[in-house]
Amino acid sequence: MTASGGNVIQGTFDEGRPGWLGGLGNVRNVVRQEMISRQLARHLHRRPARVLDVGAGQGTQSIRLAAAGHEVLAVEPDPQLRAAFAAALANEPADVRARVSLRAGALGGLASVTHGDRFDVVLLLGVMMYLPSSEPVIAELAAHVATGGMLALAVRTTSSALWRPAARQDWLGTLAAFEEYDAANAQRRDMRYLNEIGAAARADRFDALVAAAAAHGLALEDWYGIRIAVDPEELDPPPPSDPATLAALLAVEERLGSTDPYRQLGQLAHLILRQAPPSI
């Protein structure tokens, strides 16, 4: 991974890169990206908004937001992911391309790319689980959120790290996950697991994450579960080819993801955190 500036935080995504890039067209990512887009749209009050997409990857959300009229600064450390992003962006109309800036950079050194600017929307989607701890990341991101703006985090929680092997009827894997959960609690550290794209990853405790955000002025506005009914097996097939079946799957995921108790079982938790104006 190459990125310049600051004490760049090294993550574990490299191990999962081939699996991630290879699965972009499959049902898990199709559902994940569509749910994130719909959920962000519910909370994006300002148009056009200034968006900072950190760890933007292949650019799915950056490009969709630019197509919706928003101005996007996308920061991505990995040259292969930046190349995939640039290739996708090249297929967009000129006005969309003009609203996206793609830069090399990483957490730990964001200021060298953003020059301390603040944004209406800051995104960190599917990145936190590859990083050693969440608190410093929240602090760095919070410093980039404008007053009244929002931070959107898509993370793996301990509930999903425990539920995933159980949903797949991997009983030994589930017992091992519970053992790791208990050990992590006893040692006051985060739970670790191997994720579905083969990377060593870390799960956040939902309450601890919300508390860390609150310490930086970010209040939980809402949250969603992502990939609930679609994720029962190790298999990640292509999405349904029948448009009506795909539309029904997306509608079901959208309802489940915003309704208790089902959202608790999502493979990702999508938190919308709002920077409140300072009280006088």
Ligand X SMILES: C[S@@+](CC[C@H](N)C(=O)[O-])C[C@H]1O[C@@H](n2cnc3c(N)ncnc32)[C@H](O)[C@@H]1O
* Contact residues for ligand X, defined by CB under 6 A: 9, 11, 13, 20, 54-57, 60, 76-78, 81, 106-107, 125-127, 130-131
Retrieve residue 71's tokens: 């101005």
Q: Which is nearer to ligand X, 234 or 242 (CB)?
A: 234
CA distance 174 to 167: 9
Task: Work out how close the CB of 279 gets to ligand X at its nearest, in angstroms, rounded to a whole number.
Answer: 32
Task: Work out how close the CB of 280 gets to ligand X at its nearest, in angstroms, rounded to a whole number.
Answer: 36
**SS3 of the chain:** CCCCCCCCCCCCHHHHHHHHHHCCCCHHHHHHHHHHHHHHHHHCCCCCCEEEEECCCCCHHHHHHHHCCCEEEEEECCHHHHHHHHHHHHCCCHHHHHCEEEEECCCCCCHHHHCCCCEEEEEEECCHHHCCCCHHHHHHHHCCEEEEEEEEEEECEHHHHHHHHHHCCCHHHHHHHHHHHHHHHHCCCCEEEECCCCCEEEEECHHHHHHHHHCCCEEEEEEEEECCCCCCCCCCCCCCCCHHHHHHHHHHHHHHHCCCCHHHHCCEEEEEEEECCCCC
Q: Which is nearer to ligand X, 81 or 162 (CB)?
A: 81
Q: Which is nearer to ligand X, 130 or 224 (CB)?
A: 130
Shortest-Cβ-distance residue relative to ligand X:
57
Q: Which is nearer to ligand X, 77 or 225 (CB)?
A: 77
Task: Work out how close the CB of 244 gets to ligand X at its nearest, in angstroms, rounded to a whole number.
Answer: 26
Q: Which is nearer to ligand X, 34 or 120 (CB)?
A: 34
Task: Work out how close the CB of 77 gets to ligand X at its nearest, in angstroms, rounded to a whole number.
Answer: 5
Task: Work out how close the CB of 78 gets to ligand X at its nearest, in angstroms, rounded to a whole number.
Answer: 4
- The residue length of the chain stands at 280
Task: Work out how close the CB of 221 gets to ligand X at its nearest, in angstroms, rounded to a whole number.
Answer: 20
Q: Which is nearer to ligand X, 106 or 273 (CB)?
A: 106
Task: Work out how close the CB of 32 gets to ligand X at its nearest, in angstroms, rounded to a whole number.
Answer: 7
Q: Which is nearer to ligand X, 16 or 149 (CB)?
A: 16
Task: Work out how close the CB of 12 gets to ligand X at its nearest, in angstroms, rounded to a whole number.
Answer: 8
CA distance 76 to 50: 17
Q: Which is nearer to ligand X, 58 or 179 (CB)?
A: 58
- Dihedrals phi, psi of 133, to nearest 5 degrees: -160, 160
Retrieve residue 179's tokens: 């053992």
